[in-house]
Amino acid sequence: MTGRGTDEIVADLGSQSRRGGAVLEHGGMTRPTAPLRDVVGHALEQAHNRLMVTAAVLSLAFGVIAIRVADVTLLGPNVDTHAALAAAGTPQGGRADIIDRNGALLATSLATASLYADPKLIIDPKAATRKLVKALPELNHDEVLAKLSSEKRFVWLKRNLTPRQHYAVHVLGLPGLFFQNEERRFYPSGSLTSHVVGFTGVDNNGLAGLEQSFDKKLKASSTPLQTSIDLRLQHILRREVQAQVDEFKGIGAAGLIYDVNTGEVLAMVSLPDFDPHEPAGLDKDTLFNRVTLGVYEMGSTFKIFNSAMSLDTGRIRLSDAFDATHAIHVGRFTISDYHGKNRWLTVPEIFMYSSNIGSVRMALQIGTATQKQFMAKMGFLQPVPVEIPEAAWPLVPHPWRDINTMTIAFGHGISVSALHLVVASASVLNGGIMVKPTLLKRQPGVPIQGERVVSERTSEQMRKLFRLVVTDGTAKFADVPGYLVGGKTGTADKQRGRHYAQNARLSSFIGAFPMNAPRYIVFVMVDEPKPSAATHGYATGGWVAAPAVGRLVRQIGPLLGVEPVDENRPEIRQAMAIEHLNRGPALAAYQPDARQE
């Protein structure tokens, strides 16, 4: 608006007022002209001001719009906004994948279409059925005809079609057939990792394993969940454990490969396992995780902790000897050795020959309170803190009497899971640091939290004892040249009601390698192995589980990059040398081929 425009308006108003004056004159009213001019001048002034204000406001508004338009159109698009818009419109994948430590797929989601029909809309059920069965030959003609002829408004015809089948049905162009987009969880390696990964239900909710514990995370983000499992090791472990189950006709088995220093579970097998694609209708036995959920009296493998405890207190040294001449009678129990040496045994000998009597005497010397405290440090009074929901509470004596102290010394009277045993053994072997076990891959560079449970000196002594069991003791079958395998056998009688069954055993072997600087633990346990002719009637840990561990180490050692060493090299010999062993003449009488428990 310019001054010129205002002049026009003023002129306009002036002419109006003149006409107004005329009207007034017509009305016969008389007024002087000069005051009228003043009034008009005042009104004009007011109108001018108002117009100016309005014009200013409007120009401001238009100015803002113009600037914004220039900003949006001329000054270039804002890339971030565009990306955000595009991202918002981008379809998100479904449930995230689960991968192994090397990136191999363990679980993924596939988009599928499911075919359903509204029979009311089917014009000719017979013709439709004929075409449909031709397109999908696996459908039953009569069933489909019955479905399509029914009075319902919704019948499933086939769930989860492949893209090819989807296309085949699509081109039929039949009215009344519809597709429902669905997502199916797919496990490329089938039952191989079933107990670790778990499974999902029909509506894709995790119902077991990692699928359950990371359900929310898997649904929320599309970044894959990387587990600590190595699929290759998992396969080898399952094959070897299955071989032992077949050979000894066991009712089940458990296997574990564990990184001693990082606490990562590299492979975890529980047999029998299940097909995660069809978990429904399976019996509880196959769904039962024998590694983490099953608690067992572990038997002689507990002598690891009895020895570690005794040595760690400093009150018992390797050179100390205990009387294992006679069985110990406590109340109605008799504690004896499988193959008693019937003499005094040193601590290494007790471990090597797996002497129950010697172990009990060691535990009694240490005392109940210290034992309970030590077992708590080893994590035996709590469930293992692992990422799957199938983690069992151990069965511990309450109250903890002296008789419990005696039985716990050789692994009875306390029931823990296989994972408990392995995690605790790792802390004894790795220099004395208890590391939390994990099923997720540890990122390199992130420091590993741990707490000291035994001294480094104790750990070093325990490594020697482990090695001794394989070179001279009950587990010679586990030896692999070059890998310095060490370990401890365990054979526990299973409890049936209130008594121990004679022919229902739990034979296990916990092996570690290389013993000069342990890196991995391999654990194998067979549930109720039956002795066979090939094992001369034995079904003990040394016969059942130790050979499997030997075969496993032989195969996984190269995969894990463990460099074989010459066992006869002086520094290796020295690292594994153990004193206080050759006590008395009885050792010479010990026959190496009489493999015993």
| β-sheet bridge partners, residue 345 | 322
Alpha helices in 378-455 (DSSP H): 402-409, 418-429
- Is 20 or 190 the residue whose CB approaches another protein more closely? 190
CB-CB contact of 511 with 485 (8 Å): yes
Binding site for another protein (CB under 8 A): 73, 85-86, 89-91, 93, 97, 104-106, 108-112, 138, 156, 158-165, 184, 186, 188-190, 192, 231-232, 234-236, 239, 277-278, 480-483, 554-555, 557-558, 563-564, 566, 568
Amino acid present at 553: V
DSSP 264: B
CB of 276 to another protein, least distance (A): 10
Catalytic residue (one of 194, 213, 270, 300): 300
Question: Which residue has 């035996």 as its token pair?
Answer: 380
Q: Assign 3-class secondary structure to 142-171.
A: HHHHHHHHCCCCCEEEEEEECHHHHHHHHH
CA 115/CA 220 separation, integer angstroms: 28
Amino acid present at 457: R
H/E stretch holding 181 reads: strand 177-186
CB-CB contact of 117 with 147 (8 Å): yes
CA 191/CA 199 separation, integer angstroms: 10
- Is 191 or 532 the residue whose CB approaches another protein more closely? 191
- Is 78 or 449 the residue whose CB approaches another protein more closely? 78
- Is 314 or 564 the residue whose CB approaches another protein more closely? 564
| β-sheet bridge partners, residue 105 | 99
CB-CB contact of 298 with 490 (8 Å): yes
Find the distance separating the first CA and the last CA of the chain, reported in whole Å: 109
- Is 46 or 205 the residue whose CB approaches another protein more closely? 205
Q: State both tokens at 141.
A: 């003609």
Q: Assign 3-class secondary structure to 189-257.
A: CHHHHHHHHCCECCCCCECCHHHHHCHHHHHHCCCCEEECCCHHHHHHHHHHHHHHHHHHCCCEEEEEE
Q: How many CA atoms lie within 13 A of 47 on its CB side?
A: 14
Q: State both tokens at 361.
A: 């005497």
Neighbours of 295 (CB within 10 A): 19
- Is 494 or 554 the residue whose CB approaches another protein more closely? 554
CA 503/CA 540 separation, integer angstroms: 11
- Is 38 or 563 the residue whose CB approaches another protein more closely? 563
- Is 62 or 333 the residue whose CB approaches another protein more closely? 62
At 334, give phi and psi (nearest 5°): -125, 125
* Rounded-to-5 percentages of helix, strand, coil across the chain: 45, 20, 35
Is 355 a known active-site residue? no
- Give the residue among 297, 310, 430 at the shortest CA–CA distance from 360: 310
- Is 113 or 465 the residue whose CB approaches another protein more closely? 113
Active site residues: 300
